[in-house]
Amino acid sequence: MRGAEIVAVEAGSLAERLGLTAGDCILKINHKTFIDLIEFQWEWAAEEVSLEIMKSNGKSELYEIEKDYDEPLGVEFKKAIFDGLKACQNNCMFCFVEQMPSQLRASLYFKDDDYRLSFLQGNYITLTNLSKEDLVRIKREHLSPLYISIHTTDLQLRKKMMKNSRAGEVLEIMQDLSQAGIEFHTQVVACPEINDGEILEKTYQDLSKITGVVSLAVVPVGLTAYRHNLPKIRLYQKEEASRLVEWLEKKQRLELEKRGSRFIWAADEFYLLADWPLPSVESYEDFSQLANGVGMVRSFWEEWQHLQLPAVIEPAQEIIFATGLLGEKVLKPVKDRLNLIPGLKIEVRAIPNTFFGSTVTVAGLLTGSCLLKGLQEVKKGSTVFIPVSMVQSGDGKFLDDLIPHDVAKALELQIITVPLEASKILAKIIDGEGRW
C-alpha cells in the first residue's frame, strides 16, 4: 500500500491534536496521492488541507483541516520517498557497496541515486539516471541545491570510471539546470594517478565556470579488503596528500579573490594524512560540505573549545573513547583537555577495522566484531563511549548486525552510544554515564 507511514508525533503538534499516532499512514492529501515528501509539502502549504488516513487499526478516516500556511503537521515519516528509491545504474570502480563482504543485510547492497534525496537530505547523485520528466520537475519545483558526484569532467574518463555511457552527459545536464537557477554542491572522489593531477585541474576549471556550482569537495577514495575482481586502485600516500592540499589551497586563494568564496575544499582526511594543520573555522565559511567530511574535525574541535567544562567530576569517572585509527588524532586534543579536570580520566582506544580491512580507518565503519577484538583487553566493568555513526545506518545495529548490547554483554563492559556533538558528550559525562 502506497502512503506515508508515521513513526513519531511531536508533542503539542497539530498531528497530536488530531489524534494521529505512530503506525498511522497518510494515503492522500487534498484527495491526491503523493510519491514523496516534496509533493506532500507542496500540498501541505495550503491553508485548507484534507488528509485521508489509514489508522494503525486498519480503519480509514478523513480529516478536514484549517491551518496557517506555515504550520507544520508535526510528524516524522518512516521514509521520505514513498514510491521506491531510484537505483544507481553505475558500476563505479571505487564503489564502496561493491567492496563489501557477502551475507550482510540486503539493504546495505542497494545503491540509491535519487535526486529527491539529494534535495531533501544532501545525498550525492551522479545525474546518470534522470528522465526528461525528472529534469522538468527539478526545474519546475526548483529543487535546489543538489549534491553531485562528479569525479571528473573528462567525459571519456567519467564513462570509464562509472561504466555508464550516460556519465558523459553530466556537464550538459548541469549547464541546463544551472540556467534554470539550480545550484550544486559537487564532489570528486580522488583516486591516485587516475583522476587527480592534470585531470583534477581540468575538473576544477570546468566546474568553476558553471554558474550554479557553489562548492567542490575533493575526498580520498576508500578501499576495503574485498576488492575482488575490481579495477586496481591504491590509497594516497602522505607526500601525495601534501601535494594535493598545497595545490588546493592555492586554488582557494585565487577563488577567494575572484568570487569571495574559497569554492574548493579538501576532506579532513587529506589534512590528517598529510600531517598538515587543519584550516581555521573561518576558512570553511558556511561548512557547506560538512557531511562530506570537510571541516568536520575543525567544527568538532571548535565546539569543545567553546564549552564551559566542570571544575571537578564527582564521583570520579574513567571513560574510554573507542574510535577508528583516524579518530585517534581527532580525539587527542579533546582527551588532553578533559583529562585536566580533577576526577575524570579519558582514554582513547584506536581500534583497527578487522571487518573491512586495515585500510578503512574511520570510526563510522567499525563493526561489533571490530569492537569485540579491539576491546577484549579492556578491564571488565569499564565504560566505553562509541559514536552513534557506528550504528546509524542500521537503526541501532552495527554493519555486521550486532548491537552495542551484544558487545557489552560479551566483554562485560558498559557501552554508551554518544552523538557527535561536544555538548552532548559532555552532558553524558556530567550525568555520570562513565561512573564506576
SS (H, E, C) 102-121: CCCCHHHHCCECCHHHHHHH
- For the cut 60, the answer to whether the pLDDT of residue 433 exceeds it is no
Strands, E assignment, 367-408: 383-387
- Neighbour tally for 275: CB within 10 Å: 10
All three cell numbers of 207, joined, read 566546474
Question: Band of the pLDDT at 210, cuts 50, 70, 90?
Answer: very high
Distance CA 75, CA 55 (A): 14
Three-state secondary-structure class, residue 255: helix
Question: Band of the pLDDT at 1, cuts 50, 70, 90?
Answer: low
Cβ contacts of residue 62 below 8 Å, gap of 6+?
A: 50, 51, 52, 53
Question: Band of the pLDDT at 432, cuts 50, 70, 90?
Answer: low
177 and 138 Cβ atoms separated by less than 8 Å: yes
- Neighbour tally for 8: CB within 10 Å: 12
Question: Band of the pLDDT at 431, cuts 50, 70, 90?
Answer: confident
Question: Band of the pLDDT at 228, cuts 50, 70, 90?
Answer: confident
Determine the length of the chain. Answer: 436
- Neighbour tally for 335: CB within 10 Å: 15
Write down the H helix ranges in 313-360: 327-338
Position 15: which residue type? Answer: A
What separation in angstroms does the CA of 216 have from each of 4, 20, 143?
34, 43, 19
* The pLDDT of residue 261: 98
- Rounded mean pLDDT, 398-403: 94
* The pLDDT of residue 114: 98
- Rounded mean pLDDT, 255-261: 97
**Would you call 120 exposed, middle or buried from its count of C-beta atoms within 10 A (0-12, 13-18, 19+)?**
middle
Q: How would you classify residue 275: left for phi > 0, otherwise alpha for psi between -120 and 50, otherwise beta?
A: left
33 and 64 Cβ atoms separated by less than 8 Å: no
> What is the percent of the chain with per-residue pLDDT over 90, rounded to a whole number?
93
Angle formed at CA 420 by CA 357 and CA 280, multiple of 5 degrees: 95
- Rounded mean pLDDT, 35-62: 96
* The pLDDT of residue 393: 67
Distance CA 386, CA 433 (A): 12
- Rounded mean pLDDT, 97-106: 90
Question: Band of the pLDDT at 259, cuts 50, 70, 90?
Answer: very high
For the CA atoms of 4, 6, 7, 11, the dihedral, rounded to the nearest 10 degrees, stands at 150
Question: Mean pLDDT lowest for which of 29-33, 50-54, 147-151, 419-423?
Answer: 419-423
- Rounded mean pLDDT, 349-354: 97
- Rounded mean pLDDT, 386-413: 91
What separation in angstroms does the CA of 407 have from each of 354, 367, 374, 413?
15, 10, 11, 8
pLDDT tens for residues 108-163? 999 999 999 999 999 999 999 999 999 999 999 999 999 999 999 999 999 999 99
Angle formed at CA 56 by CA 69 and CA 85, multiple of 5 degrees: 70
> What is the percent of the chain with per-residue pLDDT over 70, rounded to a whole number?
98
Angle formed at CA 325 by CA 321 and CA 331, multiple of 5 degrees: 45
* The pLDDT of residue 103: 84
Distance CA 49, CA 68 (A): 10
- For the cut 50, the answer to whether the pLDDT of residue 436 exceeds it is no
- For the cut 80, the answer to whether the pLDDT of residue 59 exceeds it is yes
